[in-house]
Chains A and B, each alone.
Chain A
Amino acid sequence: MHTRRRKALTALMLGCLALVATTAGACGSAKPGQTQLDVEIFGDMGYRDLYAKYEQSHPGIKIVEHVVSYDDHHKNLQAHLLGGSGTGDIEAIDGGYISQFRVMADKFVDFRDYGADPGQWLPWKSQQATGTDGSLMGLGADVGGLAMCYRRDLFAQAGLPTDRDKVAALWPDWQSYIATGKRFKANAPDGVAWFDSGSNVFNAIIGQAPVGYTASSNKVVVADNPAVKRAFNLAVEAVQAGESAKLSTFSQQWNAGFQRGSFATVACPAWMTDTIKQNAPQTSGKWDIATIPGGSGNWGGSFLTVPKQSKHRKEAAELAKYLTAPEQASWIFRTQGHLPSQASLYDDPAVLGNTNEFFNNAPTGRIFTEAAKNLRPQYQGPKDGDIGPLIGLGITRVDKGKQQPAQAWHQVLKDVANATEP
């Protein structure tokens, strides 16, 4: 090749590379002088309009939101914290993972340094995000609460009362819930089970115990804690009575189960009302919500945290405080249905008076906030997120007839040992 032509080609290639390099960095970044805050979340938390309002009142701030799937988001956060770089300025953490990240509380800012008061939130919510040295590493965003969503039409077909107060009176505790299930099964339409999955029932029961899988010393007590065995036995009793539809939560068949009316009751947190609406829009008005047996519970809910890796800690902390403040939390509840975790809102008539048309105008504001308020703080250890599903699998094995309860419990203990040993 002629030298001149070769030199021209080389120059062209370098020029193209330079062009690509400069434009690649330019997408979506803040203008010079502006501070860009990256908010990393795992689902729609309803913040988009709030960003616009915040940017208006804080001219130097530009907010960019990234949404990644639930599992990937938490794995990425884990990997970035380990690697030392790559986290956003605000990272949302789900209630199921917060106890795992609390071990690394020293990698997150202490919001008390920025004027946050842990007493602002429900006690158990703040406790979940409090490190061993008392630092507040996460601000409570939403909670799940817990209630029992049921199908009024299927209840009527089986000869059970349908009014939500009468229904709540049917099951003040879990034993009576299982007994009502047997009553339902006696006259139920074909192919309809009492509840969707034994592991969901188990999770609801164990959530009400004063001590769960881990003692406050961080020692795993699954084998010793009688409450865990009792919850396991109750769930096993329910599945052995044939009350379960044997579905895995969030699976395809579980989604379809709402449409096909495969089960008459399901333990539902506030955010699941949206899921039910999406999965089975044509069942509008057929559902209702009653208090959960035991009267208290929580499933899910999230926190906003600011990793210390952030280069704009103060601005990020201020934004996080804004997004979780009572005024914004109340607005999110009224427009999106995410249950707030601010204690002051639990006496707010605007929140308490909320109803849901899809669920036969059930007073969702009152029911879910009561369940969340009544929840006794249960210490969550770092391994709890692993242990719950393992016990759930044990109940599933009994449900499918693969193991006897004693065998299943034995394997659960083996699984827990495998998960918790170093």
Chain B
Amino acid sequence: MAVFAPSSVLRRRPNTATEKENRWSQRRHRFDLSGTPYLYIAPFFVAFGVFGLFPLLYTGWMAVTQWNRDIPGSEHTFVGLGNFTRLIHDDYFWNALVNTAAIGVLGTVPQLLLAMWIAHLLQRKMRGRTLLRMGVLLPNITSVAAVGLIFAQLFGRDLGLINWGLSLVGIDKVDWQSGTWQSWVALAVILTWRWTGYNSLIYLAALQAVSDDLYEAADLDGASQFQKFRTITVPALRPTIIFSVIMSTIGTIQLFTEPLMFNPGLSPTGGDSRQFQTLAMYVYEQFWTHGKYSYAATVSWAMFMIIVLAVGANYLLSRRIRSSS
């Protein structure tokens, strides 16, 4: 049964000029409310689509072919998951993973603890506090490559400043580039130097939410600086700590520039025994030095999946911590 709506008012076309203008401005207004937000965020998504999503998918496509620089026409050979199978049996991949994890842990755990302590100290009222707060960020704004080169010199075996300093306290000179844990420690020092200030400012911002009354009460109870740190500052920082751990994990899995600069000759091999070759360096070596384009894409995708796993694990852990507190 058809229903006839009163048509005279609703369906009459706007005839006069003002009515037409009102209709147009109404449409514009409606579009402004519902459509322009999408326009505002579109630039980011367009850029992400071009520079983030498309390379990701294309790399995935490369990973299922056997593209090699020295075999013309090899970009069309399809090998399915063959590259990933090879990856699982590749000692050098696991070696790079271990290196990356070790440098990551050595470089992140002490660094975040130090950042917390520095943030706690910067809370107190003292002269030049703002200057100190700004100064602590200076290492972070330097050029990564330049700093890497300078630290490589500082850690030089025969002529480095650090070995000279060690010799003053009677320690034999250490071959930082050559040893396994020595290179890990050196790279961890470089990372700590760069990121401690950045993380301490993040923690400092979170600490602004802690009221001074708590600290005053603790002072009245005679608490030491370390006790105040342990009982007031650290619990207040829990969500921020989780955030900085996630960011640090993502950052260290992609670690590339510092170990590359650490190698004399800037070779991506990571030392004579690949002792500090990280995952990103392994990708670089496979792609540029050996010309194994598809295999490099495979390692890249493996890195991506590792990051997803790590962030996922972090997230689940943080949910447990949050639900328990």
Binding site for B on A (CB under 8 A): 71, 75, 78, 100, 103-104, 248-254, 256, 382-383, 386, 389, 393, 396-397, 400, 402-403, 414, 418-422
Contacts and interface: CB of A to CB of B under 8 A. Distances in A.
Interface string B213-253: 00000000000000000000000000000000000000000
Given A256-B159, A418-B290, A402 B273 contact: yes
Contacts of B71: 422
22 contacts: A100-B291, A104-B72, A248-B265, A249-B265, A250-B265, A251-B264, A252-B153, A252-B156, A253-B156, A253-B158, A253-B264, A256-B158, A393-B272, A397-B273, A400-B175, A400-B272, A403-B273, A414-B91, A418-B92, A419-B289, A422-B74, A422-B294
Given A252-B159, A253-B158, A419-B290, A397 B265 contact: no
The DSSP consensus for interface residues of chain B is loop
The DSSP consensus for interface residues of chain A is helix
Contact of A248 (B74, B175, B264, B290): B264
Interface of B: 66, 68-72, 74, 90-92, 153, 156-159, 175, 178, 264-267, 269, 272-273, 288-292, 294-295
A422 B265 contact: no
Contacts of B91: 414
A104 B289 CA distance: 16
Given A251-B264, A251-B265, A253-B264, A386 B289 contact: yes
A254 B156 CA distance: 12
Given A78-B69, A100-B70, A396 B272 contact: yes
A389 B159 contact: no
B221 to A, nearest CB: 56
A92 to B, nearest CB: 19
A71 B158 contact: no
Q: Top 6 nearest A-B pairs by Cβ distance?
A: A251-B264, A248-B264, A382-B70, A422-B68, A396-B272, A419-B290
A256 B70 CA distance: 38
Nearest to B71: A422
A256 B158 CA distance: 10
B44 to A, nearest CB: 22
Contacts of B69: 78, 100, 103
A383 B159 contact: no
Given A400-B272, A422-B292, 6 more contacts: A103-B69, A248-B265, A253-B264, A383-B70, A402-B178, A418-B92
A402 B182 CA distance: 14
A396 B264 CA distance: 13
A253 B273 contact: no
A40 to B, nearest CB: 18
A78 B293 CA distance: 12
A422 B66 contact: yes
A252 B264 contact: yes
A365 B295 CA distance: 47
Nearest to A414: B91
A138 B267 CA distance: 27
Given A248-B265, A251-B264, A393-B269, A386 B290 contact: yes
A78 B159 CA distance: 36
Contacts of B292: 421-422
Contacts of B153: 252
Contacts of B291: 100
Nearest to A254: B264
A386 B71 CA distance: 16
Contact of B178 (A250, A400, A403, A414): A400
A103 B74 CA distance: 13
Nearest to A401: B178
Contacts of A256: 158-159
A397 B175 CA distance: 13
B305 to A, nearest CB: 22
A113 to B, nearest CB: 21
Contacts of B272: 393, 396-397, 400, 402
Contacts of A251: 264-265
A133 B236 CA distance: 72
A399 to B, nearest CB: 9
A94 B264 CA distance: 21
Contacts of A420: 290
Nearest to A249: B265
B257 to A, nearest CB: 15
A130 to B, nearest CB: 17
B269 A71 contact: no
A209 B91 CA distance: 32
A383 B178 CA distance: 26
A183 B66 CA distance: 53
Nearest to B72: A103
A100 B288 CA distance: 12
Contacts of A400: 175, 178, 272
A51 B74 CA distance: 40
Q: Identify which of B69, B72, B156 gathers the most chain A CB atoms within 10 Å of its CB.
A: B69
A307 to B, nearest CB: 16
A89 B292 CA distance: 28
A248 B262 CA distance: 13
B90 to A, nearest CB: 8
B290 A253 contact: no
A422 B291 CA distance: 9
A400 B292 CA distance: 30
A121 B292 CA distance: 33
A65 B267 CA distance: 27
A421 B90 CA distance: 12
A389 B290 CA distance: 12
B60 to A, nearest CB: 19
Contact of B157 (A75, A253, A386, A418): A253
A100 B68 CA distance: 12
Contacts of A403: 273
A73 to B, nearest CB: 13
Nearest to A400: B178
